[in-house]
């Protein structure tokens, strides 16, 4: 893909969870000058605007325990179609969330092009719950499971594709809050996970180098980076809905982005869960944009 062309797609949806405010994430990231930052690096940036998200009373019932299933389906369907359009134009999709349920639409759109997609899930959570294992019914805790073809059939079949990604093509980085059902699924499917324990022991350099080598062995034809800002320690990203102490540092995250950029293997990315209501002077959105800078080649010298 010609990486000099980037399309920004905003998804102002908070339907995947309970806390209000994350729907303003795309606006906060734009306010932090994401377009200007990337243009200064020599990219042609086209802001595609936002996916239309109806602001209605939440939790329409759909014969399920899943919160706001109909609304999530509508948002993700629109996003899937938009990503497909962007890919057809030879542009790099950069998606701004919104809660992490939007990744269901992202993966559906990407796998219209990529048949053996690799996924780097940079997150404090595994997001591998299903309706049977979820403690809350919040869909933002399920997108990776849905991507593997597990969960509510309406979500799994979004885009008419069924499973979008293979368990062996997934790498989770930064996990430190994993539910029992998710742990069982990780063991059952053999999903590669670098928890904070591994990051502390190995260091971020080895984690990323090992991840790159692992995905190359699987001969993936694209790699999607799905970055939840709660992967970082709340010290650096206070404006997230589900903060978990003991996370990845600001500098470690920049190093991870820099190493991925050097390898030139990331073909799409999304940055999610920025909640300006919970933030401190737009600190979390500023961090997201700074990390995007590193991912797209920003250097100190």
**Ordered per-residue pLDDT tens for the chain, 301 residues:** 445 899 999 999 999 998 889 999 999 999 999 999 999 999 999 999 999 998 765 555 555 789 899 999 999 999 999 999 999 999 999 999 999 999 999 999 999 999 999 999 999 999 999 999 999 999 999 999 999 999 999 999 999 889 999 999 999 999 999 999 999 999 999 999 999 999 999 999 999 999 999 999 999 999 999 999 999 999 999 999 999 999 999 999 999 999 999 999 999 999 999 999 999 999 999 999 999 999 999 987 6
292 neighbors 254 (Cβ within 8 angstroms): no
Residue 195 β-bridge partners: 175
Question: Is position 47 within any domain?
Answer: yes
- Coil, helix or strand at residue 116: coil
Question: Is position 134 within any domain?
Answer: yes
Is 18 labelled as part of a ligand binding site? no
140 neighbors 246 (Cβ within 8 angstroms): no
Write phi, then psi, for 182 (nearest 5 degrees): -70, -40
Structure tokens, 102? 């939007």
Question: Is position 183 within any domain?
Answer: yes
Q: What is the pLDDT of residue 166?
A: 98
Give the CATH number of the domain where residue 13 resides. 3.40.800.10
CA distance 45 to 285: 18
CA distance 225 to 263: 13
Question: Is position 301 within any domain?
Answer: no
Is 14 labelled as part of a ligand binding site? no
Question: Is position 280 within any domain?
Answer: yes
Structural domain that includes position 243: 5-295
Is 44 labelled as part of a ligand binding site? no
Q: What is the pLDDT of residue 1?
A: 41
288 neighbors 274 (Cβ within 8 angstroms): yes
Question: Is position 300 within any domain?
Answer: no
CB count in 10 Å sphere of residue 23: 22
CB count in 10 Å sphere of residue 34: 24
Is 125 labelled as part of a ligand binding site? yes
Torsion 65-159-95-73 (CA) sign: negative
134 neighbors 187 (Cβ within 8 angstroms): no
Q: What is the 3-state secondary structure (H, E, C) of 165-218?
A: CCHHHEEEEEECECCHHHHHHHHHHCCEEEEHHHHHHHCHHHHHHHHHHHHHHC
User: Into how many domains does the chain fold?
Assistant: 1
234 neighbors 247 (Cβ within 8 angstroms): yes
Measuring CA to CA, how many Å separate 276 from each of 83, 283, 285?
A: 25, 9, 8
Which residues are part of the catalytic machinery? Answer: 100, 123, 125, 127, 140, 228, 230, 273
Strand 266-272 and strand 44-50: the pairing is unpaired
266 neighbors 8 (Cβ within 8 angstroms): no
CA distance 199 to 21: 31
């Amino acid at each position: 893909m010609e990486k000099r062309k980037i399309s920004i797609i905003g998804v102002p949806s908070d339907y995947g969870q309970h806390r209000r405010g994350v729907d303003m994430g795309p606006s906060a990231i734009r306010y932090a000058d994401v377009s200007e930052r990337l243009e200064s690096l020599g990219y042609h940036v086209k802001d595609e605007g936002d996916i239309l998200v109806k602001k209605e009373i939440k939790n329409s019932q759909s014969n399920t325990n899943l919160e706001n299933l109909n609304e999530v389906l509508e948002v993700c369907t629109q996003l899937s179609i938009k990503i497909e359009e962007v890919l057809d134009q030879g542009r790099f999709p950069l998606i701004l969330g919104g809660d992490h349920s939007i990744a269901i639409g992202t993966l559906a759109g990407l796998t219209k092009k990529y048949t053996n997609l690799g996924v780097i899930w940079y997150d404090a959570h595994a997001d591998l719950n299903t309706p049977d294992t979820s403690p809350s019914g919040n869909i933002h805790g399920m997108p990776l499971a849905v991507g593997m073809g597990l969960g509510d059939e309406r979500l799994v079949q979004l885009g008419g594709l069924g499973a979008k990604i293979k368990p062996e093509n997934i790498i989770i980085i930064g996990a430190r809050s994993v539910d029992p059902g998710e742990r069982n699924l990780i063991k059952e499917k053999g999903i590669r996970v670098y928890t904070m324990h591994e990051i502390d022991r190995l260091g971020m350099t080895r984690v990323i180098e090992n991840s790159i080598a692992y995905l190359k062995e699987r001969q993936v034809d694209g790699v999607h980076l799905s970055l939840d800002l709660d992967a970082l320690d709340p010290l650096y990203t206070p404006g997230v809905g589900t903060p978990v102490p003991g996370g990845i540092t600001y500098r470690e995250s920049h190093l991870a982005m820099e190493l991925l950029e050097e390898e030139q293997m990331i073909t799409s990315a999304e940055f999610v869960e920025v909640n300006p209501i919970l933030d401190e002077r737009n600190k979390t959105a500023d961090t997201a944009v700074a990390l995007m800078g590193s991912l797209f080649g920003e250097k100190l010298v």
